[in-house]
Amino acid sequence: MPHPVVIATWPFGRRAVEKALPLLTRGEPALDAALAGAQAVEEDVTIRNSVGFGSLPDRLGRLTLDASVMDGRTLACGAVAAVEHVRHPAALARRVMEKTPHVLLVGEGAKWFALQEGFRLEQPYTLAALREWLERHPDLRPEDRPQPNQKPPEEKRSASDAGSPDPETCRDGASDIAAGELSHDTVTVLALDVKGHLGGVCTTSGLAYKLPGRVGDSPIIGAGLYVDDTAGAAGATGVGEEIIRIGGSLLIVEWMRAGKSPQEACEMACQRVHAAAARRGVHPARVAFLALDPKGNVGAACTAKTNFRYAVGREGKIELLQAKEIPP
């Protein structure tokens, strides 16, 4: 009987591991434990700039959340993206998996589905997050907003108007975060249960001050999360555009299937991110990967300056580990 293992992104992932590990130890399925762990982080508005309610909104001040879940036994998966007013997007993603023939619901459709499923719609904003948004966006304070029929001034064109939505190159609130001050707002939880099954959950508010409508890697199966009992589980955090570009999590799982260790596979994914950046002539973005194989081996790696730490729980012990940085 395998020993249960659970790993989660960032120091606040410890909260997820603390919740999930006892559940796994008493025989709960991997996906249930991973979801309970992710929800513990979503629930906690005191984890600053983190996941769920209380995290940092988009450029228009709206908090839109993304999440995905995947069950390694069957490859069943579900996701929601750009969903507002739902406290537990990961739980909603699981309903998509279980109650619909679909994998991904977005925006208003995801919210409508949440209502059908009995989720309450709630105000997700905290004063702290709103204050910080206002400080960063003085140009968007209500008194400064353009009046109806008033032409927006030329210099205030958004990055998307300028035809440059790449977070590495555009210079607005979202890109400042993407290029440098990445605030850690994603928890990815990967779990191995006592029956040897794998499950994974990823939940996020995305990049702080992202352009409205922007969706990152977290709800994209194969990018922010992939889980297959026959090969392993992988998840990601960081600048989602770069993770999507290389299909990060599926790539890691397939490298594990081909015999690489979780550590080797995560390092190779970082090298792939570097190679993709070099082909585009840009600096590599900050991204991190973590992985868990069906035997309980774990691995993690990040690109330079990401300072990625992650929580690992096994045999009643929880540790915070520093991921290896892979230089370009």
Minimum CB distance to ligand SD4, residue 209 (Å): 12
Helix (H, G, I), strand (E, B) or coil at 225: strand
How many residues bind ligand SD4, per CB under 6 A?
13
List, as own/partner pairs, every contact residues 98-107 make where C-beta atoms lie below 8 angstroms and the sequence separation is at least 24, other chains included: 102/78, 103/77, 103/78, 103/79, 103/221, 104/78, 104/79, 104/80, 104/219, 104/220, 104/221, 105/79, 105/80, 105/81, 106/80, 106/81, 106/82, 106/215, 107/64, 107/81, 107/82, 107/83
Q: Binding residue for ligand SD4 (CB under 6 A) from 42, 58, 185, 293?
A: 185
247 in a known ligand binding site: no
80 in a known ligand binding site: no
Query: Between residue 203 and residue 232, which ones bind ligand SD4 under the rule CB under 6 A?
Result: 204, 206-207, 216-218
> What does the block give as tokens for 16?
């997820």
Q: Could you give the C-alpha distances from 177 to 211, 242, 275, in angstroms and in order?
A: 12, 14, 22
Which residue from 292, 324, 50, 87 is spatially nearest to 187, judged by alpha carbons?
A: 50
Binding-site string for ligand SD4 from residue 79 to residue 98, where x marks contact by CB under 6 A and - marks none: --------------------
The smaller minimum CB distance to ligand SD4, of residues 25 and 249, is found at 249
238 in a known ligand binding site: yes
Minimum CB distance to ligand SD4, residue 151 (Å): 33
CA 104/CA 200 separation, integer angstroms: 16
Sheet arrangement for strand 104-106? 104-106, 76-83, 65-71, 198-204, 186-192, 5-9, 309-314, 317-322
CA 252/CA 8 separation, integer angstroms: 16
Minimum CB distance to ligand SD4, residue 8 (Å): 12
Minimum CB distance to ligand SD4, residue 123 (Å): 22
> What does the block give as tokens for 203?
């939940």
216 in a known ligand binding site: yes
Tell me whether residue 186 is one of the annotated catalytic residues: yes
Catalytic choice (186, 188, 203, 306): 186
Count of helices and strands (H, E) across the chain: 9, 13
Query: Between residue 189 and residue 208, which ones bind ligand SD4 under the rule CB under 6 A?
Result: 204, 206-207
15 in a known ligand binding site: no
The smaller minimum CB distance to ligand SD4, of residues 139 and 166, is found at 166
Q: Binding residue for ligand SD4 (CB under 6 A) from 199, 222, 238, 262?
A: 238
Binding of ligand SD4 by 240 (CB under 6 A): yes
Q: 188 - beta bridge partners?
A: 202
Query: Between residue 24 and residue 63, which ones bind ligand SD4 under the rule CB under 6 A?
Result: none
239 in a known ligand binding site: yes
Minimum CB distance to ligand SD4, residue 158 (Å): 18
Binding-site string for ligand SD4 from residue 279 to residue 318, where x marks contact by CB under 6 A and - marks none: ----------------------------------------
How far does the chain reach from its first CA to its final CA, in angstroms? 40
Q: In angstroms, how far apart are the furthest CA atoms of the chain?
A: 68
173 in a known ligand binding site: no
Catalytically active residues are 186
Residues in the site for ligand SD4, rule: CB under 6 A? Answer: 184-186, 204, 206-207, 216-218, 237-240
Q: Which residues belong to the annotated binding site?
A: 214-217, 237-240
Q: Which residues belong to the annotated binding site for substrate?
A: 214-217, 237-240
